[in-house]
């Protein structure tokens, strides 16, 4: 009740006395949400009491605040899109939205925002929906503190958790997404922020990010997703303080960067991935203070990358530190800490006196000829690596860290 | 048997293993690095010591074996007991030297697999050494053969495999590779340990295929079975040869 | 007791034994003599089953030795050079042998006592001199009271006193009716021991005669002179 009073109080100030509050419930005059929306006018609040509501498709075409008390359940009976928002500044708060329709032709969602702005979707629980929260042409919308759980079994028959197609100034904050195809999907979304979300156990990507410029994602956790996180065909992306963990398996990685430019990757942690970061066609990327722990490959930088600066990162207990597929290297490694570094520091400035070469000959062999993995840790490969370190012939000559740190910085 | 146990070299081997393993665990800041160094010991030093020591020891005791042959004993008994004496003492040396530190620092499946593989490799290389001894009469030549065999198993074989991999790079080689490992007990031991250790790397693309095979129950049984064959086959051949050998 | 028929053995191209046929009976003390590399040791080893012949066969009490390894229970063998595991003591070696033979009742410890080995029981083999090792070998050969004694260069490396003890022992055993086979190239010391002589050269048996026959044939009293006489005759 406290919440209602406070919200009412708030609304009182924002909208003038003409705004009214409609109460929906089994014991109330208005029995269904459908009915309430029909009655309501712009600026009204619809409060829904706890209970099960089979409302088919709720279309919100007025600026109303739809608020659930103790998570009333909106059930789509596996047939309908549950809430369709077609008006600006709508708020949907506190519902439990379950069983949306599944279709291969239409993208049914738990909540879908059609071409509108300033919509807020928060504190909802979405369970067993095809797409979770879907926005198209959204502007300045907030999707906050929602929990999305799906039980997909096949990639083709599942939708994404939070799906944004074309939009600007979106805020995706503190959501938890699991079991979808992609946890968070961004395509043609600009100037937006993804912050404090947890995306785990999704079929494909924890975050799927394409053609979206000038965005930032910060302090998210991406864990145990089918293929990790993919950031593609974008520029000016900022990735700070994220965790990319336990993305294991065939062709999976913590973070895939494909055709990315002018971006920043800082203070992230990559742990226990088959590949920590895979970069293809990335250019002008700053990578700083990330930690790479227990990965198969900490980093794979394909020869198509240029001007990638890797500095002050730490690399610990990775099977291979850096892999690459060509001999031309236009990237810069400097001042990182490598636990495999065997050099010395005579002048005690905490910087190793001889450069470290993070690419081993064997990692290149495996890159070209995957079955060679079976010889991993054998005497011959160790011997080859040692010889190659002394007399580099095959590994890229200029892929090296001139000033490796003796101690890790953080 | 007591003779072998009292042997200074065996004692030295035990002590060196012991010190090496303990220092590896305590000096390295992360245990995974210590384990890695230990893996190298198991895969390189253990077979080397096993094969060289067994070869030299068998040569040195050849006159005594002669004496035993003149006694009312079956040759098979003499040969097998000499094998079991060597195998038991080298395994014991490994178990005390490396096994105890491993158990102290790594009481898990990695540690268990390492100990099991170390002991198996010790025994396998005793069997191989005895085959080398029985096939070559000359001591210097025999030791040479033993060293070559060790070199082959720990280095040349893998080199050959690598060479073939590149020659036939266009074909799917994952399955034949599994077969190929069966021909080298060192490789087999290494893979068995690695599967417990470097999970992330082994689970990369090909890793998955190997994991599917070696990681399963049948895979483990297969590997242990093949390693057992690596003990029995050389032993059988050497016993047969020894039975007909002129001393 | 031991019958060898047409035994041949080749080591590579070298014919170590060439069609050797010998019969050895109880109560005989046979000296197997000949120059170096004449096949003496090979012949002994064939009898012991340490060398397997290419053709021909050897029987021991009527049993082919190829299939009956148990016959060795009745043989005491003293090798030319006895080498034992370095870290075992004399006591250990003796115990082990007893263990192998499984016979601890009818032990003949005469030599052990005569050579005063009891006081050395705790010594490790690698600390022993060649002579002491020979003493151990000799004691072991006689220890189990075997019917047949095969001694390969028994007195080589022994000091004169030990040598005499050993000879005495051989004579007593001979008188008990045992078969004794000795190889040696030091002829003089065999004078008072042997009853028969087998002379081998290049893997062949040149002659197998009793000592009396030899003496009458050559007219020489001393054994080495008789042999020398025979050899010079042969060269003519």
User: Does A351 touch chain B if contact means CB atoms closer than 8 Å?
Assistant: no
Give the chain A residue nearest B191 (alpha carbons): A374
Query: B71 and C85: CB-CB below 8 Å?
Result: no
Give the chain C residue nearest B246 (alpha carbons): C51
Domain locations in chain C as residue ranges: 2-235
Mean pLDDT of chain B: 82
HSE of C12 in the Cβ direction (CA atoms, 13 Å)?
A: 2
Residue A297: is its pLDDT beyond 50? yes
Query: A377 and B190: CB-CB below 8 Å?
Result: yes
Mean pLDDT calculated for residue range B143-164: 91
Residue B170: is its pLDDT beyond 60? yes
Mean pLDDT calculated for residue range A215-242: 93
Residue C233: is its pLDDT beyond 90? no
Q: What is the largest CA-CA distance in chain C?
A: 56
Percent of chain C scored above 70 by pLDDT?
92
Percent of chain B scored above 90 by pLDDT?
22
Q: A33 lies in a domain?
A: no
Q: Give tens-digit pLDDT for B194-237.
A: 877 766 555 555 666 677 777 778 888 888 999 999 999 999 99
Q: Give tens-digit pLDDT for C93-117.
A: 888 788 777 766 677 878 888 888 8
Helices B75-94 and B46-60: crossing angle in degrees, nearest 10, is: 140
What's residue C186's pLDDT? 67
- In angstroms, the CA C109 to CA C106 distance is 9
Could you tell me the pLDDT band of residue A279, with boundaries at 50, 70 and 90?
very high
What's residue A1's pLDDT? 54
Q: A54 lies in a domain?
A: no
CB pairs under 8 A between A and B: 101
Using only the alpha carbons of chain A, give its radius of gyration.
25
What's residue B200's pLDDT? 53
Residue B30: is its pLDDT beyond 70? no
CATH superfamily ID and name for C2-235: P-loop containing nucleotide triphosphate hydrolases (3.40.50.300)
Percent of chain A scored above 70 by pLDDT?
95
List chain B residues with CB under 8 Å of A272.
200
Q: What's the predicted TM-score (pTM) here?
A: 0.78
Q: Which of A373, A381, A394 to mutate to test the interface with B (most CBs of B within 10 A)?
A: A373
Q: Which of B7, B59, B68, B70 to mutate to test the interface with C (most CBs of C within 10 A)?
A: B70
Residues paired with C78 in a beta bridge: C151
Residues paired with C8 in a beta bridge: C55
Q: Which of C15, C46, C68, C83 to mutate to test the interface with B (most CBs of B within 10 A)?
A: C83
Could you tell me the pLDDT band of residue A142, with boundaries at 50, 70 and 90?
very high
Mean pLDDT calculated for residue range B110-120: 89
User: Does A296 touch chain B if contact means CB atoms closer than 8 Å?
Assistant: yes
Mean pLDDT of chain C: 80
List chain C residues with CB under 8 Å of B66.
50, 79
Residues paired with C15 in a beta bridge: C10
pLDDT higher at B165 or A166: A166
What's residue C198's pLDDT? 85
What's residue A5's pLDDT? 61
CB pairs under 8 A between B and C: 68
User: Does B67 touch chain C if contact means CB atoms closer than 8 Å?
Assistant: yes
Of B108, C89, B28, C71, nearest to A342 by C-alpha is: B28
What's residue A285's pLDDT? 94
**Contact B82/B58 with Cβ under 8 angstroms?**
yes
Mean pLDDT calculated for residue range A260-289: 93
* Residues ≥6 apart with Cβ < 8 Å to B236: none
Q: Give tens-digit pLDDT for C119-131.
A: 888 888 888 888 8
Query: In which order are the strands placed within the sheet that holds C2-11?
Result: C14-24, C2-11, C55-60, C63-64
Percent of chain A scored above 90 by pLDDT?
57
Residue A260: is its pLDDT beyond 70? yes
Q: A280-309 burial, b if ≥16 CB within 10 A, otherwise e?
A: bbbbbbebbbbbbbbbbbbbbbbbbbbebe
What's residue B229's pLDDT? 93
Give the chain B residue nearest A296 (alpha carbons): B201
Q: Which domain holds residue A352?
A: 227-410
**Contact A317/B30 with Cβ under 8 angstroms?**
yes
Of the partner residues B169, B187, B204, the one whose CB lies closest to the CB of residue A378: B187
Residue A232: is its pLDDT beyond 50? yes
What's residue A243's pLDDT? 95
Give the chain C residue nearest B8 (alpha carbons): C87
Query: B72 and C100: CB-CB below 8 Å?
Result: yes
Query: C81 and B68: CB-CB below 8 Å?
Result: no
If you ran DSSP here, which 8-state letter would residue A398 be given? T
**Contact A401/A335 with Cβ under 8 angstroms?**
yes
Q: A180 lies in a domain?
A: no
Residue B64: is its pLDDT beyond 50? yes
- In angstroms, the CA B124 to CA B232 distance is 8
Percent of chain C scored above 90 by pLDDT?
0
Domain locations in chain B as residue ranges: 2-244
Give the chain B residue nearest A251 (alpha carbons): B205
Could you tell me the pLDDT band of residue B246, with boundaries at 50, 70 and 90?
confident
Could you tell me the pLDDT band of residue C165, with boundaries at 50, 70 and 90?
confident
Q: Give tens-digit pLDDT for A390-408.
A: 777 777 878 889 999 998 8
Mean pLDDT calculated for residue range C178-182: 87
Q: A357 lies in a domain?
A: yes
What's residue B11's pLDDT? 73
pLDDT higher at C229 or A161: A161
What's residue B1's pLDDT? 44
Q: Which parts of A204-297 fold into alpha helices (H)?
A: none
Query: B44 and A295: CB-CB below 8 Å?
Result: no
Provide the domain count of chain A: 1
Q: Which of B161, B188, B201 to mutate to test the interface with A (most CBs of A within 10 A)?
A: B201
* Residues ≥6 apart with Cβ < 8 Å to C24: C1, C2, C3, C30, C179, C181
Q: Give tens-digit pLDDT for A328-351.
A: 778 899 999 998 888 888 988 889
Between A206-215, C184-193, C210-219, the lowest mean confidence (pLDDT) is in C184-193
What's residue C236's pLDDT? 47
What's residue A15's pLDDT? 52
Between A80-89, B83-92, C72-81, the lowest mean confidence (pLDDT) is in C72-81
Mean pLDDT of chain A: 88
């Amino acid at each position: 009740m406290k919440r209602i009073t406070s919200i009412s109080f708030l609304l009182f100030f924002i909208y003038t006395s003409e705004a009214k509050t409609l109460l929906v419930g089994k014991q109330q005059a208005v029995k269904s949400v459908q009915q309430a929306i029909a009655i309501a006018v712009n600026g009204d609040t619809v409060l829904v009491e706890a209970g099960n509501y089979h409302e088919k498709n709720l279309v919100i075409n007025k600026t109303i605040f739809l608020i659930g008390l103790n998570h009333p359940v909106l059930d789509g009976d596996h047939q309908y899109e549950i809430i369709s928002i077609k008006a600006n500044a709508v708020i949907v708060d506190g519902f439990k939205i379950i069983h949306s329709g599944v279709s291969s032709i239409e993208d049914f969602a738990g909540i879908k925002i059609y071409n509108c702005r300033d919509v807020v979707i928060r504190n909802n629980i979405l369970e067993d929906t095809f797409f979770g929260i879907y926005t198209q042409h959204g502007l300045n919308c907030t999707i906050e503190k929602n929990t999305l759980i799906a039980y997909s079994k096949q990639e083709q028959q599942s939708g994404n958790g939070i799906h944004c197609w074309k939009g600007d100034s979106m805020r995706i904050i503190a959501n938890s997404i699991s079991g979808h195809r992609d946890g968070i999907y961004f395509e043609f979304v600009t100037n937006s922020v993804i912050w404090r979300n947890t995306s785990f156990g999704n079929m494909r990507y924890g975050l799927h990010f394409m053609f979206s410029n000038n965005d930032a994602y910060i302090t998210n956790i991406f864990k145990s997703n089918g293929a990790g996180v993919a950031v593609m065909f974008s520029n000016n992306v900022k990735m700070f303080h994220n965790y990319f963990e336990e993305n294991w398996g065939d062709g999976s990685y913590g973070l895939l960067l494909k055709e990315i430019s002018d971006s920043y990757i800082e203070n992230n942690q990559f742990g226990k991935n088959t590949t920590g970061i895979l970069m293809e066609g990335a250019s002008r990327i700053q990578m700083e203070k990330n930690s790479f722990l227990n990965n198969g490959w900490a980093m794979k930088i394909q020869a198509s990358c240029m001007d990638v600066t890797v500095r002050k990162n730490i690399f610990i207990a990775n099977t291979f530190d850096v892999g690459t597929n060509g001999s031309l290297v236009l990237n810069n490694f400097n001042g990182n800490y490598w636990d495999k570094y065997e050099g010395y520091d005579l002048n005690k400035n905490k910087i190793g006196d001889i450069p470290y070469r993070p690419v081993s000959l064997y990692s290149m062999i495996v890159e070209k000829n995957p079955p060679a993995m079976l010889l991993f840790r054998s005497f011959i490969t160790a011997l080859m690596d040692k010889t190659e370190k002394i007399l580099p012939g095959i590994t890229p000559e200029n892929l090296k860290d001139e000033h490796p740190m003796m101690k890790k910085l953080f | 048997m007591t003779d072998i146990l009292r042997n200074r070299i065996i004692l030295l081997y035990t002590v060196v293993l012991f010190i090496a393993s303990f220092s590896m665990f305590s000096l390295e800041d992360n245990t995974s690095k210590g384990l890695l160094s230990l893996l190298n010991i198991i895969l390189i030093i253990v077979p080397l010591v096993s094969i060289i020591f067994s070869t030299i020891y068998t040569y040195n005791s050849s006159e005594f074996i002669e004496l035993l042959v003149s006694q009312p004993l079956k040759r098979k008994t003499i040969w097998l007991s000499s094998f079991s004496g060597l195998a038991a003492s080298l395994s014991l040396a490994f178990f005390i030297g490396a096994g105890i530190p491993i158990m102290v620092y790594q009481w898990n499946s990695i540690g268990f697999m390492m100990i099991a593989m170390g002991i198996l490799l010790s025994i396998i290389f005793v069997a191989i050494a005895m085959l080398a001894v029985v096939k070559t009469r000359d001591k210097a030549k025999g030791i040479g053969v033993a060293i070559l065999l060790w070199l082959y198993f720990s280095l040349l074989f893998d080199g050959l495999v690598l060479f073939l991999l590149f020659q036939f790079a266009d074909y799917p080689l994952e399955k034949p590779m599994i077969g190929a490992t069966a021909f080298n007990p060192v490789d087999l031991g290494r893979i068995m340990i690695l599967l417990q250790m470097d999970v992330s790397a082994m689970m990369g693309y090909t890793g998955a295929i190997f994991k599917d095979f070696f990681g399963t129950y049948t895979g483990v049984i297969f590997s242990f079975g093949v390693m057992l064959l690596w003990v029995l086959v050389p032993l059988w051949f050497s016993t047969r040869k020894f039975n007909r050998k002129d001393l | 007791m031991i019958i060898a028929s047409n035994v041949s053995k080749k080591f590579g191209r070298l014919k170590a034994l060439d069609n050797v046929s010998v019969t050895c009976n109880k109560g005989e003390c046979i000296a197997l003599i000949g120059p170096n590399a004449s096949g003496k040791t090979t012949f002994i080893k064939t009898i012991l089953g340490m060398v397997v012949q290419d053709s021909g066969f050897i029987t021991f009490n009527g049993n082919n030795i190829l299939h009956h390894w148990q016959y060795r229970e009745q043989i005491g063998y003293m090798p030319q050079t006895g080498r034992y595991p370095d870290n075992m003591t004399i006591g250990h070696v003796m115990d082990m042998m007893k263990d192998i033979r499984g016979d601890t009742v009818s032990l003949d410890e005469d030599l052990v006592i005569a050579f005063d080995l009891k006081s050395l029981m705790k010594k490790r083999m690698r600390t022993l001199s060649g002579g002491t090792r020979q003493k151990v070998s000799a004691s072991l050969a006689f220890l189990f009271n075997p019917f047949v004694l095969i001694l390969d260069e028994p007195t080589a490396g022994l000091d004169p006193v030990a040598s005499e003890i050993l000879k005495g022992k051989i004579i007593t055993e001979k008188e008990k009716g045992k078969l004794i086979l000795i190889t040696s190239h030091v002829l003089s010391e065999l004078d008072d021991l042997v009853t028969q002589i087998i002379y081998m050269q290049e893997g062949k048996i040149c002659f197998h005669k009793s000592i009396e026959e030899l003496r009458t044939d050559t007219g020489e009293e001393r054994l080495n002179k008789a042999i020398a006489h025979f050899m010079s005759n042969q060269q003519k």
